[in-house]
Amino acid sequence: MKTLKVVALATVVGLAGVSAIWAQGDHEDGVKTTRLLMPIMNADRGMELFASKGCATCHSVNDVGGEDASPLDAHKMDEYMNPFDHAAKMWLMAPYMIAAQEDELGEQILFTGDELSNIIAFLHDDAQQLLFTEEYLESIAGEETDG
């Protein structure tokens, strides 16, 4: 069976703005046979997206945000989590979430893989979540209104 190994290429990761690293098939000849890039997850960007995408309309973090759906505090979830399991949990709840989003926001929230990876990083980072305050949420909402 083929296992996936994340290979951090220093030259690639070292470049500014790079947000993904190669996932390489575990082959003896070292040839990249698996056509996958693993995102470099960023909890700080994820916090901004959690606010700007509207997740906080229904979900709270650090007691800040809506109460229509379950709180998403890192310490209330599994101690360590595979990010794909987090995505799978969202997929499981998708029918309820999309219905609620269409009801409350008028449309389904969409995101790229990169954006989702950053949101998931935020949802599993205790230290970053302490920075999620009412003032912060309002400042992001203010930016949106300002255009």
Q: Residue 58, interface with ligand HEC (CB under 6 A)?
A: yes
Quick one: which segment of 10-18, 32-40, 48-56, 138-146 binds ligand HEC (CB under 6 A)? 48-56
Q: Residue 74, interface with ligand HEC (CB under 6 A)?
A: no
Nearest residue to 116 via CA among 91, 87, 76, 141: 87
- Residue 34 or 52: the one with the smaller Cβ distance to ligand HEC is 52
And the tokens for 45?
Answer: 């960007």
Total residues contacting ligand HEC by CB under 6 A comes to 21
Nearest residue to 110 via CA among 54, 56, 64: 54
Q: Residue 101, interface with ligand HEC (CB under 6 A)?
A: yes
Nearest residue to 51 via CA among 124, 125, 142, 147: 142
Q: Residue 69, interface with ligand HEC (CB under 6 A)?
A: yes
